[in-house]
Amino acid sequence: MKAVKVENLTKKFGEFTAVDNISFDIEEGEIFGLLGPNGAGKTTTISMLATMAKATAGKAVINGYDMKTSQDGVRKSIGIVFQDQSLDEELTARENMDFHGRLYRIPKEVREERIEELLRLVGLFERKDDLVKTFSGGMRRRLEIARGLLHRPKVLFLDEPTLGLDPQTRNYLWEYIEKLNQDFKISVIITTHYMEEADRLCDRIGIIDKGKIVAMDTPENLKDRIGGDIITVKSPDYREKIKDCGFFWIDRTEFFDGFFTITLSGAEEHLTEIISALIGQGIKITSVSMHKPTLEDVFLHYTGRSIRDEEAGAKDRMRMMHMVRRH
């Protein structure tokens, strides 16, 4: 059985289509990512699957339960950690967990046992009797994840779980998510706009933009499809000036706002030739970088736009060469 099956799911707000006819499956034990920029439709998708918002059209089955006809079955099958935090600050970690356990009518003994197990799992057992208001952002997120697992869901929904966390805490959280996926054989659907997060955690990724899934595969396959190496050239005036360099070893040249990319194999070998050719055409070059395709390049390729957030962008630029501006 598939953990999640989504067919032609659509959500409209009036005339506006926030989620546009998307379909995907999630295998049992799989970590599936929805990667896309703000406003892509990620939260809306998760809300429909979690039966918190009504779909305009389409179908979804979660753990064998139909989203429309078996809402209770769906709700018992899923754990949710939403973008906006929902802990009670004036309660302790243990009390927050206990409250959730009561909601799900988990008998006291089982509840206590699981609360201890889960708090240990996310490294918060020592802090169980401290008020949540004394917790850092990362600790709160870990507590929310532990809470979402209390009723032993088959599928965990994580909506931008590391939003606003510092890189170190984010890394820490990724390790927990991987651990629970392995220890509990739980299926995970995670939304993110951090490509590093999707790359690192997900078995498969659906790239979502303007409500549509534009590409879906393993991170490796998505990047492989783009090609061998990418040379990114920033230039103020390429649009008017660039002509085809005529190099047969260039697979593809794509133009974006303020820069263009050249995809080829063996970029290091051909870099000087390319730069000479561009300069020969009178093109001003602001900077040149060379890198292996990232999910950012995949997103660019399919949407023509950048998903970029500064932090990830800076890291992606593996070897940056600043060129002297020629006038």
Ligand X SMILES: Nc1ncnc2c1ncn2[C@@H]1O[C@H](COP(=O)(O)OP(=O)(O)O)[C@@H](O)[C@H]1O
- Interface with ligand X (CB under 6 A): 13, 18, 36, 38-44
Quote the CA–CA distance of 112 and 97 in Å, as a whole number: 9
Residue 62, token pair as written in the block: 């979660």
CB < 8 Å & 24+ apart, contacts of 114-120: 114/150, 114/152, 115/150, 118/146, 118/147, 118/149, 118/150, 119/93, 119/94, 119/146
Residue 80, token pair as written in the block: 């949710």
Give the C-alpha distances (Å, rounded to integers) separating 147 from 79, 80, 105, 186.
8, 9, 14, 15
Minimum distance, C-beta of residue 235 to ligand X, in the bound complex (Å): 31
Which residue from 213, 192, 157 is spatially nearest to 21, judged by alpha carbons? 213
Minimum distance, C-beta of residue 194 to ligand X, in the bound complex (Å): 13
The conformation of residue 126, written as its DSSP 8-state character, comes to G
With respect to ligand X, which residue has the nearer C-beta, 42 or 114? 42
With respect to ligand X, which residue has the nearer C-beta, 44 or 235? 44
- Which does residue 44 touch among ligand X, Mg ion, none (CB within 5 to 8 A, set by kind)? ligand X
3-state secondary structure 183-229: HHCCEEEEEECCHHHHHHHCCEEEEEECCEEEEEECHHHHHHHHCCE
- Which does residue 161 touch among Mg ion, ligand X, none (CB within 5 to 8 A, set by kind)? none
Minimum distance, C-beta of residue 174 to ligand X, in the bound complex (Å): 20
Give the bridge partners for 7, in sequence order. 59
- Which does residue 139 touch among Mg ion, ligand X, none (CB within 5 to 8 A, set by kind)? none
- Which does residue 142 touch among Mg ion, ligand X, none (CB within 5 to 8 A, set by kind)? none
With respect to ligand X, which residue has the nearer C-beta, 49 or 155? 49
Minimum distance, C-beta of residue 40 to ligand X, in the bound complex (Å): 4
- Which does residue 151 touch among ligand X, Mg ion, none (CB within 5 to 8 A, set by kind)? none
With respect to ligand X, which residue has the nearer C-beta, 42 or 170? 42
With respect to Mg ion, which residue has the nearer C-beta, 42 or 94? 42
CA angle 132, 180, 9 (to 5 degrees): 95
With respect to Mg ion, which residue has the nearer C-beta, 213 or 262? 213
With respect to ligand X, which residue has the nearer C-beta, 44 or 232? 44
- Which does residue 79 touch among ligand X, Mg ion, none (CB within 5 to 8 A, set by kind)? none
Build a one-symbol-per-residue string for 32-51: x at contacts with Mg ion by CB under 5 A, - elsewhere.
Answer: ----------xx--------
Minimum distance, C-beta of residue 83 to Mg ion, in the bound complex (Å): 5
Quote the CA–CA distance of 6 and 49 in Å, as a whole number: 9
**Number of C-beta neighbours around residue 163 at 10 A:** 16
Residue 157, token pair as written in the block: 């929904």
Binding interface with Mg ion (CB under 5 A):
42-43
